[in-house]
Amino acid sequence: MEFSRRIRLNKTTVFLIVLVFLALVMVYLLMGGGDKYNDHDIKISQLLAASIHLAEKAGQEIVEIRKSKSLQETSKLKEGLAGKEIVTLGDQKSHNIITRGLKEVWPTLRTKSEEKTQSDHDKGRAFRPLLKHPEITAKIQQRNEKVNSDDIAVWIDPLDATKEYTEGGTNPELLKYVTVMVCITVSDEPIASVIHQPFVKDTNGRQGITYWAWVDHGVSPNLEGIKSSPNTNTIRVISSRSHSGDVIKVANSALSDSGNKVEHIVAAGAGYKTLQVALQKADLYLHTTPIKKWDICAGDALIYTLDGVMTTRKGHFITYDPDVDAKQI
């Protein structure tokens, strides 16, 4: 005996099937599936987009850990420096989110991070970032450079201003100094970066503000149209609240002789201080004690994109060779 069956799909069912299919295609394209992965060929636009998404994801984790009050503070020796420094669960989680997320897409990509991956914080699937971002897409205008992966490195400061992060439970005002920073270098030169402030709200009241820059391409919309500071004889110098060194002496000596007044601003975090210069809230960021390159790489790319410059005290440009120690400068 033979049986025949007819499957009838009503219009609603067909519509839902098509809708699900289109949604899957959209997710595939957003994840960069439309581009065949090439281990030796990386699109900077995709790497920058991924860095933005990962920095924001890491920022969310940092905020949640701060809310939980379970920071799991430990101390580590300062690499190449005397003394110890604090490291928290927020530092480590942020590091893992960013480094694992990048390696999920580009397994051979070289990364240089302030923290090191620890297996006990490395559980579960890695967060796979999106490889497109609407702000970047609007900027590239067909100039989507591909670069050999051997020439690329990503410098990461997963949580800048850790001291203020730990103190933020009793003094929330300090949390504005916390940033997550990602910097893309090509042939040891910074060409794109992300600086994310996880605890600062944007103009619409949303948690977290992200700034990004790409040399010769543009900056995030929140860095556009910023008015230059009034042309006065006062130079605003921003420096560290905890590593001031001889900043006041150096600044006064170098700037006062020309008839300028020097206004000193103290703040925490290299990322935050660089942003104050970019946002025209300070004219000069001066640091006179040793500092690591992952602290300044993102700010270097940002300032250069805005036609500024970051140099050593001797006026030399800073290079970022990932195969060399991230030694202080």
Tell me the pLDDT of the chain (329 aa) as tens digits: 444 444 455 666 656 665 666 655 554 555 445 444 555 899 999 999 999 999 999 999 999 999 999 999 998 766 555 456 899 999 999 999 999 999 999 999 999 998 877 655 566 678 999 999 999 988 776 566 899 999 999 999 999 999 999 999 999 999 999 999 999 999 999 999 999 999 999 989 999 999 999 999 999 999 998 877 777 789 999 999 877 678 888 888 888 777 788 999 999 999 999 999 999 999 999 999 889 999 999 999 999 999 999 999 899 999 999 988 666 66
Contacts of 91 (CB under 8 A, 6+ apart): 114, 115, 158, 159, 162
Number of helical H runs and strand E runs in the chain? 8, 13
Q: Binding site for Mg(2+), residues? A: 114, 157, 159-160, 295
For the chain, the straight-line distance linking the first and the last C-alpha, in angstroms and rounded, comes to: 86
pLDDT at 306: 96
Listed residue (327, 322, 310) closest to 156, CA to CA: 322
Asked whether 237 and 265 are in contact (CB, 8 A), the reply is: yes
Q: Binding site, residues? A: 114, 157, 159-160, 295
Domains of the chain: 40-223 (3.30.540.10)
